[in-house]
Structure 1
Amino acid sequence: MLAPLIGTAAAVWIAVVIAVLAALSVAFSIWRGLKGAWWRGAALLLIALALSGPGIQRGTARPLSDIVILLDDRSASQSLPTRREASDAALRQIETQLSEWPETEVRRVTVGDSDDGTLLGAALSKAIAAEPANRLAGAIVVSDGLSHDAGVIPETAPAPVHFLQTGRPEDWDRRIVIDEAPGFALIGEPATISLHIADEGQTPDETAGPTTLTARLDGEVIATIAVTPGTRVELPVTLETAGANVILLSVGTEDGELTGLNNQAALTVNAVRDRLRVLLVSGEPNAGERTWRNLLKSDANIDLIHFTILRPPEKFDGVPVNELALIAFPTRELFMERIEDFDLIIFDRYRMRGILLPEYYDNIRRYVENGGAVLVSAGPEFAGVDSIARSALGPVLPARPTGRVIDTPFLPRLTEEGRKHPVTDGLPGAPAAEGSASQGDDWGRWLRMIETVPTPDSTVAMTGTDNQPLLMLRRQGDGRVALIASDQLWLWGRGFEGGGPQLDLMRRVAHWSMKEPELEEEALELRTLAGQSVEVTRRSLMDDPGPVQLTGPSGQLAEITLDETAPGRFTGRFTAPEPGLYTVRQGELTRSVAVGPAAPREFDRTVANAADMAALVENSGGSTHRLSDGIPELRRVAEGRPAEGRGVGGRWIGLYERQAETITGLSRRPVLPDWAWLCLIGAVMLAGWLIEGRRAA
């Protein structure tokens, strides 16, 4: 025929043209009353049909198996009483039944724990999307329904989704819910934590009354209040220690509760100072005065009051007293009435000149003993008869001057204790220790210092010429006192002989005086690592502070041995056997850390609930069943038929019988061979000619 010669598409168009001509020819012949019109039209139609190449197409197909998604929830909440056993029994029975069905595949999906909780929705969405819709017989979800990504649970599915819910109808639980909690709080100012106690499930009548809420800070009880479940309460907490403070809130566990893990909640509040208030008193203009001022003014968290005495009182030049200063030095107000408002008082080359009365110095000493801080930057006046070391402030200073001023260039060096102390540990370019093979003298020299005799309880962090004490730190009562026995620190800032870490040293000394946690020489630090591991770091000036004692969330005790990893730093690690609050103690030092959430997210809600799965189950034509009522039987149903019911043997759930196929082969043969078409066309034409000829005769 023409199709192989001119192409199938062209042949079809020729056939269409001929068919149209046939129709027009028949219509014209009938209109004109011509004989044989039907026979001519039939012949033309046969020609068009032959050109179109009609054929019979046959294909071979292979049946495809149905797919059943079986989702197994293995999250932590499934470990609550009876849930794991019920899940395992249901899964075994379902898999046994499905294994007996012909042409059925099971896609087992397991959902475990993650940092974001139980991601039931993500697992189910991914499993459904991965399978062809025409092969999916259905999905069976065995879970307590507690999903932490309910928003991504699909709204429908191409096959019924059945939810088999674990848990018991009588389950109930109590938990602490933190409504609002501050991330930061001001030291000494109350911070408010808003919370309520939530009871969920079938709560017994005898537990409806108030319960006792206990708040602990680093293991110490700071508040105990009575709270009625469902009532919001405001808990004020006052923090006195700067840095991270771990607060543990807990209520007692009642009989019958699913778990006690969510009866406690840990939160971390960072305690900060509102603003550090510093009083800088310069006894006379000097090169280091601006250094101290620039350092303190550059810190936005510091409020600085600075007074410089330009004209000593002993200078008699006839100038009236009311013209000696633009602003009168409010000595009584600063050193008697409002001294407690300051976090640090700096005396920069100050000497007793009668400006401060003797009772003022005595009041400064009491200020230190009550928790205040004093820093003395000493020059030659510190060695004279008018040195402030001879005032009532002298007993709290870290050293007393001998009266000798050493005018000899020297290189500041760190002592053995200075290499351990956080104030001087790790200062850039520090000279190597005496006797060390390495030499790292990157610091420039100073030109003058004051000879002093340190007190037995002070720490000498740096030395100058002939190992004379240069930087001394002392704890006095609840306060701190620092003494720099030289007025040459400014040389480092000017780059003299290479300079040195002037700003680092000044900032560290000032902030140590104001009790910044990072600069405590005797401290405990806890840091959580991966896999519920915790690193314990003990900073100490002692050669071996010994092991620390660990208390776990269940009250278990353990001892952790620390190894020296750097001068003044001792480190140990432990792996927490369970999430919760762990407290480490050594002497008077106590720190706490929450390993994982104190109330893990998996146990935030514990009462089984089908609400998150309800929309998907309903829209897909599935069903919800409690495993505590028994395990439903499986049945195969036709698509569109009900997928659940109750029979003689009990409840049943249905899965579609898809009967999907895939084409494996395709064959095609013409309806008639070419010669048959020619014979048929010729026969019609001949029949028409004969019939038309007879009629004409």
Structure 2
Amino acid sequence: MTGTLIFDPMLPWPVLAGVGLLVLFAAGLALWRGLSGWGPRLLGGLVVLAALAQPAYQEEDRAPLTDIVMLVEDQSASQQLDDRAEVTAQAAETLEAQLSARDNTEVRRVRVGDGEGDLGTQMMTTLNSALAEEPRGRIAGVIALSDGRVHDMARATQLPAPMHLLMTGHDDDWDRRLIVSNAPAFAILGEPVTLTLRVEDSGAAPEAARTPLHVSVDGGEPMEFDVPLGEDIEIPVTLPHGGRNVLQFTVPEAEGELTGRNNTALIQINGVRDRLRVLLVSGEPHPGGRTWRNLLKSDSSVDLVHFTILRPPEKQDGVPVRELSLIAFPTRELFLEKIDDFDLIIFDRYKRRGILPAIYLDNVARYVEEGGAVLIASGPDFASADSLYRSPLSEVVPAAPTARVIEQGYAPRVTEQGARHPVTVGLGDPETWGRWLRQIEVEPERGDILMSGVEDRPLLVLDRVGEGRVALLASDHAWLWSRGFEGGGPQLELLRRLAHWMMKEPELEEETLYAEASGQTMRIIRRTLDEAAGPVTVTGPDGAEVVLELEEVSPGRFEAVYEGPEIGLYRLRDGDLESVIGLGPAAPKEFEQTIATGAVLAPQIDSLRGGVMPLDDGLPRIRNVREGRPAAGRGWIGLTPRGAFETRDVTQVALLPPWLVLLLASGLIVGAWLREGRR
């Protein structure tokens, strides 16, 4: 039971102060004039003021509440290294028993794990949530069992009581870490890109100057280098192919280091082409020729060399030779010496006229077989006796002309095979496409027929020849789409995809296996022209294999979703197709820094004069300290008793009830009047 004098003024305190001054002034004036009743009048005024303040005596029935100690137990991944988990668990049990044995004390155990994704130890977030569930006025202290590696200090708030860190780890702990400080997301094919790496030791590391470094691309045979420790290393890397390249850098785990989880770095770099070098060979001028040129010139990433035959050799009109050309076109240089410098050669309505000897065209066939690309946009010339097919190029052309030229309107259509091929899938609604007015009849000899025209005859045929690729478009009327004839069509997108397919861009491969990662989840994608896809074997970082069945989500596209059990490099295999993908960072945030430290939590601990003590020295003694005093010392930590209580009942007694005020005030006023009257 406690008693307290309280006031509940009927008027604001400034108003009461003004009334009090008025009472004192009146009493002083009466005294100055020699009036004998000034004393009772002063007392009467004070009684009225006291009544306006409404004093009361309040008596409370209080029940004391226990103090709460937050015992924070770090169970994150870095706490699983060495013997930290066992030491933490044993210390937590002992501390809980000691604190529970104290008078007027309760213990709240708060367990901290890894944050979702790669957020690291979220101690401040977890502690804030735990504190929000308890009255802050009862918190006597916070004791954290951790290695001190906390990754959400930005969420730290002012604590109501001192915080102490009882730190796991040992003085002789050390760790070696591989850091990639500079790795671009994209790199140009054929040009070296420089990566900056650093291998550093932390903690009580043994004396060492150098270490081996293994580098592999797409899980291939690793290359070994000898690199210095503690220095930035610049490694030039040339990407072997377009699309995603997975580079893995690994430092062998040394004897005695805490973990090898941070000895590996996975870098994924997309290989892109700098510029596409195109040789456009135009035969007889026609409306589509300018369309081809405008299309290629509009792309700033294309270097175009355009070779147009405006005057065939058989044309004789008496024009002097010196007036025909100022500079002879370098056909020998283009088709013999520098043909391998081009990424793509386009023959647009070209036929044999003696300008390009057979040896030149034979060199073009060799160029295709060794990895080059040729696109033939055929017109009536392709069906004639001077057709390119009747040259050494016939070895690589996928369809033979029948000599028939079909002159009638028709709407190009995507074939069943084309509906599964990435070049023609999703080009839009064929019902909205405009007509073409000419088609060259061809008989396919090999390759894939993606589009058809009149009477379902082949219109677009793609084929792989040796290391290279060939595309045959059996019409010279694709330009009608670009002019918007009868609504036009997707000419630009079709030709762009054709060029990229011939450049072997991974996203347009018809037979491919790859995966897209999102955190620890991968979406496995298999493209094929077949009606079904076989199972995919997934090999994890630990060598364990999982076989997954794929489901068809669209024509030619099969998918499966797989949750990787751990972070690292995964290999995918379906027959002869193989792919690799990295899930998550090679070194999670929990393993970036593994040596125990109190520096991270120091700002939070120092704010209320808490302490940092290693558990290697044993558990500290626990004392009570007053608020604001040092809360830690040699071999001890302090808790601040809060003295919190619960009020069960409140009783108030008015000190000046109305009847007493009326009696006192009237008596004093009448007394003052009688005294002054008697005088």
Q: Which amino acid aligns with 1:142?
A: L
Q: Which amino acid aligns with 1:282?
A: S
- Decide whether aligned partners of structure 1 residues 686 and 67 sit closer, same or farther in structure 2, where only a CA change above 3 A counts: farther
Matches of 2:146 and 2:288, distance apart in 1: 71
Matches of 1:369 and 1:393, distance apart in 2: 11
Match of residue 614, structure 2, among 626, 640, 662? 626
Deviation at 1:16, TM superposition (A): 3.0
Deviation at 1:346, TM superposition (A): 0.6
Tell me what 1:183 maps to.
185
Deviation at 1:448, TM superposition (A): 2.5
Tell me what 1:148 maps to.
151
Q: Does residue 1:558 correspond to 2:546, yes or no?
A: yes
Q: Does residue 1:50 correspond to 2:47, yes or no?
A: yes
Tell me what 2:642 maps to.
658
Tell me what 2:507 maps to.
518
Q: Does residue 1:667 correspond to 2:652, yes or no?
A: yes
Q: Does residue 1:573 correspond to 2:561, yes or no?
A: yes
Matches of 2:628 and 2:404, distance apart in 1: 104
Q: Does residue 1:450 correspond to 2:434, yes or no?
A: no
Matches of 1:604 and 1:469, distance apart in 2: 59
Q: Which amino acid aligns with 1:241?
A: H
My pick for the range that moved more, 65-74 or 238-247, is 65-74
Tell me what 1:286 maps to.
286
Deviation at 1:12, TM superposition (A): 6.3
Q: Which amino acid aligns with 2:587?
A: A
Q: Give the 3-state SS of the residue equivalent to 2:114 in structure 1.
A: coil
Tell me what 1:401 maps to.
401
Residues 322-356 of structure 1, C-alpha deviations (whole Å, 9 max, x = no match)? 43246653323322333222211111001122222
Tell me what 1:470 maps to.
459
Tell me what 2:597 maps to.
609
Show the 5 A alignment for 1:73-152.
73-114=74-115, 115=117, 116-124=119-127, 134-152=137-155
- Decide whether aligned partners of structure 1 residues 592 and 680 sit closer, same or farther in structure 2, where only a CA change above 3 A counts: same
Q: Give the 3-state SS of the residue equivalent to 1:482 in structure 2.
A: strand
- Decide whether aligned partners of structure 1 residues 525 and 142 sit closer, same or farther in structure 2, where only a CA change above 3 A counts: same
Q: Give the 3-state SS of the residue equivalent to 1:612 in structure 2.
A: coil
Deviation at 1:445, TM superposition (A): 3.9
Deviation at 1:74, TM superposition (A): 2.9
**Aligned residues of 1:427 and 1:505 also touching (Cα < 8 A):** yes
Q: Which amino acid aligns with 1:316?
A: Q
Q: Which amino acid aligns with 1:476?
A: V
**Aligned residues of 2:44 and 2:664 also touching (Cα < 8 A):** no
Q: Which amino acid aligns with 1:659?
A: G
Matches of 2:500 and 2:389, distance apart in 1: 23
Deviation at 1:298, TM superposition (A): 3.1
Tell me what 2:268 maps to.
268
Q: Which amino acid aligns with 2:615?
A: L
**Aligned residues of 2:436 and 2:480 also touching (Cα < 8 A):** yes
Tell me what 2:22 maps to.
17
Match of residue 509, structure 1, among 476, 494, 498? 498
Residues 282-313 of structure 1, C-alpha deviations (whole Å, 9 max, x = no match)? 11211222332233233332222323322222
**Aligned residues of 1:14 and 1:51 also touching (Cα < 8 A):** no
Matches of 2:92 and 2:316, distance apart in 1: 102
Residues 27-49 of structure 1, C-alpha deviations (whole Å, 9 max, x = no match)? x36xxxx6xx7x75433331221
Show the 5 A alignment for 1:238-637.
238-325=238-325, 328-430=328-430, 441-456=431-446, 458-529=447-518, 532-637=520-625
**Aligned residues of 1:12 and 1:51 also touching (Cα < 8 A):** no
5+ residue gaps, structure 2: 1-7
Q: Which amino acid aligns with 2:436?
A: W
Q: Which amino acid aligns with 1:472?
A: V
Residues 65-117 of structure 1, C-alpha deviations (whole Å, 9 max, x = no match)? 43433333232222223222222223333333343445545454443322322
- Decide whether aligned partners of structure 1 residues 15 and 278 sit closer, same or farther in structure 2, where only a CA change above 3 A counts: same
Q: Give the 3-state SS of the residue equivalent to 2:416 in structure 1.
A: coil
Superposed CA RMSD: 3.2
**Aligned residues of 1:19 and 1:44 also touching (Cα < 8 A):** no
Q: Which amino acid aligns with 2:321?
A: V
Matches of 1:261 and 1:321, distance apart in 2: 76
Matches of 1:373 and 1:538, distance apart in 2: 25
Work out the percentage of aligned pairs sharing the same amino acid: 49
> Aligned residue pairs: how many?
662
My pick for the range that moved more, 345-354 or 669-678, is 669-678
Matches of 1:451 and 1:555, distance apart in 2: 54
Q: Give the 3-state SS of the residue equivalent to 1:620 in structure 2.
A: coil
My pick for the range that moved more, 217-226 or 130-139, is 130-139
Deviation at 1:447, TM superposition (A): 2.9
- Decide whether aligned partners of structure 1 residues 152 and 442 sit closer, same or farther in structure 2, where only a CA change above 3 A counts: closer
**Aligned residues of 2:420 and 2:529 also touching (Cα < 8 A):** yes
Matches of 1:381 and 1:638, distance apart in 2: 101
Q: Give the 3-state SS of the residue equivalent to 1:84 in structure 2.
A: helix
Q: Which amino acid aligns with 2:27?
A: A
Matches of 1:56 and 1:452, distance apart in 2: 111
Residues 591-618 of structure 1, C-alpha deviations (whole Å, 9 max, x = no match)? 2111121221221112221111122222
Q: Give the 3-state SS of the residue equivalent to 2:221 in structure 1.
A: strand
**Aligned residues of 2:552 and 2:558 also touching (Cα < 8 A):** yes
Match of residue 171, structure 1, among 148, 170, 173? 173
Q: Give the 3-state SS of the residue equivalent to 1:374 in structure 2.
A: strand
**Aligned residues of 1:53 and 1:670 also touching (Cα < 8 A):** no
5+ residue gaps, structure 1: 431-440
Q: Which amino acid aligns with 2:640?
A: Y
Q: Which amino acid aligns with 1:72?
A: E
Deviation at 1:528, TM superposition (A): 2.2
- Decide whether aligned partners of structure 1 residues 452 and 658 sit closer, same or farther in structure 2, where only a CA change above 3 A counts: same
- Decide whether aligned partners of structure 1 residues 222 and 236 sit closer, same or farther in structure 2, where only a CA change above 3 A counts: farther
Q: Which amino acid aligns with 1:88?
A: A
Q: Give the 3-state SS of the residue equivalent to 2:293 in structure 1.
A: helix
Tell me what 1:434 maps to.
none
Matches of 1:549 and 1:47, distance apart in 2: 101
Matches of 2:16 and 2:534, distance apart in 1: 99
Deviation at 1:454, TM superposition (A): 2.9
Deviation at 1:482, TM superposition (A): 0.7
Deviation at 1:269, TM superposition (A): 0.7
Matches of 1:113 and 1:136, distance apart in 2: 25
Deviation at 1:466, TM superposition (A): 4.0
Q: Which amino acid aligns with 1:334?
A: L
- Decide whether aligned partners of structure 1 residues 491 and 18 sit closer, same or farther in structure 2, where only a CA change above 3 A counts: closer
**Aligned residues of 1:312 and 1:353 also touching (Cα < 8 A):** yes
**Aligned residues of 1:365 and 1:392 also touching (Cα < 8 A):** yes
Q: Which amino acid aligns with 2:172?
A: E
Tell me what 1:436 maps to.
none
- Decide whether aligned partners of structure 1 residues 157 and 568 sit closer, same or farther in structure 2, where only a CA change above 3 A counts: closer
Q: Does residue 1:210 correspond to 2:210, yes or no?
A: yes
Matches of 1:223 and 1:634, distance apart in 2: 56
**Aligned residues of 1:262 and 1:600 also touching (Cα < 8 A):** yes
My pick for the range that moved more, 230-239 or 216-225, is 216-225
**Aligned residues of 1:279 and 1:344 also touching (Cα < 8 A):** yes
Matches of 2:551 and 2:131, distance apart in 1: 53
Q: Give the 3-state SS of the residue equivalent to 2:604 in structure 1.
A: helix
**Aligned residues of 2:608 and 2:628 also touching (Cα < 8 A):** no
Q: Give the 3-state SS of the residue equivalent to 2:514 in structure 1.
A: strand
Residues 497-541 of structure 1, C-alpha deviations (whole Å, 9 max, x = no match)? 5543322322221221121211111111202246x2322222122
